[in-house]
Amino acid sequence: MMRKSKVVILGTGGTIAGKAGSNTEMTGYQAGEIGIQTLINAVPEMLEVADVTGEQFCNIGSFDMIDDIWLRLSRRVSELLQQPEVDGIVITHGTDTLEETAYFLNLTVKSEKPVVLVGAMRPATAMSADGPVNLLNAVALAGSQEAVGKGVLIAMNDQINGARDATKTNTTHVETFKSWELGYLGYFQNGKPIFYKASLRRHTAAAEFDISKVTALPRVDIVYLHVNCDDILVRAAVSAGALGIVIAAFGHGNLHINIKSALIKIARSGIPVVRSTRVGNGIVSRSANDTDNKFIAADSLNPQKARILLQLALLRTKSPEEIQRMFDEY
């Protein structure tokens, strides 16, 4: 008889573990109220798919996520995946910062075994809660051979997204995670994951970042540009100790005249500045003046993911040329 895959579910809280006052409340609930074992018990069908065990890692709304939890979570995932009998990991997570946690793990977990993040847009107490089927699909994905080597994945709404490109696109609808123009990696059909593509960017076991002994990540701030903006926020970020700046710029990484000179000064002083964009799709590529200005182009990473890559890059180097290489490869 073929051995069932062994999947460990790490609970971190979120809407999937949320509780509301009635079964018709879809907003205004308390996230992170239900423990991981209760979630597992509510979906007995997953025990037919895999040998499942649960561990309550933390229980928070993901809007309260912090770097320290990321560091400990990544190390715990890597530790579990080093065990020969563990085939994959599922992490239950709030959707507000799920894409960021997924990308951080995509860059720091040292294993090709599947790591799947899963959440819900409706609390566990809702009459049409989406958490149970999402969790069932996530376990099936984490235990599948097809997911090996695909990097960190997101399983929600019968869709499979890669950690690098997925983003939350709606505040309340269940079909919120999309990879926009780059598309889903696959779907679930009758509970079975089916892949059609894979990310070609470096990740997990092929990534160069080692956080095994890191106790804190460098401070990197995001500044969002708008009409009539000035340089007050970027100067404040540097004064507060930011070691890197990501700009959510206009269009193709365009900078307002009121802020550009300050950013050039900051970048030339040795604090890396990354040009990302407010736009939901497309590449911010190198411009003719980036080398002289010491700017870094974010490629297709949105500002919040560019921030994560810059944090990890700063653990290794402050060279804008070397950091640009990383943005081109990850």
Q: What is the CATH number of the domain that holds 40?
A: 3.40.50.1170
Domain assignment of residue 215, yes or no: no
Domain identity same for 193 and 249: no
Q: pLDDT per residue over 82-139, tens digit each? A: 999 999 999 999 999 999 999 999 999 999 999 999 999 999 888 889 999 999 999 9
Domain identity same for 154 and 288: no
Domain identity same for 201 and 232: no
Domain that holds residue 317: 220-329
Domain identity same for 55 and 157: yes
CB 286 within 8 A of CB 263: no
Domain identity same for 192 and 232: no
Whether 53 is catalytic is no
Domain identity same for 41 and 135: yes
CA atoms within 13 A on the CB side of 312: 25
pLDDT reported for residue 41: 94
CATH number, position 267: 3.40.50.40
Q: pLDDT per residue over 175-228, tens digit each? A: 999 999 999 999 999 999 999 999 999 999 999 999 999 999 999 999 999 999
Domain assignment of residue 40, yes or no: yes
The catalytically annotated residue of 15, 95, 97, 125 is 15
Contacts for 285 with CB less than 8 Å, ≥ 6 apart: 252, 297, 299
What does the pLDDT average to over 274-285?
A: 97
- pLDDT band at 1; cut points 50, 70, 90: low
pLDDT reported for residue 166: 98
Domain assignment of residue 267, yes or no: yes
What does the pLDDT average to over 242-249?
A: 98
What does the pLDDT average to over 291-304?
A: 98
Domain assignment of residue 245, yes or no: yes
Domain assignment of residue 253, yes or no: yes
What does the pLDDT average to over 146-167?
A: 98
The structural domain count of the chain equals 2
Q: pLDDT per residue over 32-50, tens digit each? A: 889 999 999 999 999 999 9
Domain identity same for 157 and 236: no
pLDDT reported for residue 23: 81
pLDDT reported for residue 283: 98
Last residue of a domain, one of 158, 182, 206: 206
Last residue of a domain, one of 183, 206, 229: 206
Domain assignment of residue 213, yes or no: no
Instruction: Tell the residue number behind the tokens 């095994």, with chain if given.
Output: 212
* Summary mean pLDDT of the chain: 96
Domain assignment of residue 179, yes or no: yes
Please report which helix (H) or strand (E) contains residue 262, including its range: helix 257-268
Domain assignment of residue 138, yes or no: yes
pLDDT reported for residue 219: 98
Amino acid, single-letter form, for residue 159? Q
Q: Rounded to whole angstroms, how far apart are CA atoms 42 and 36?
A: 10
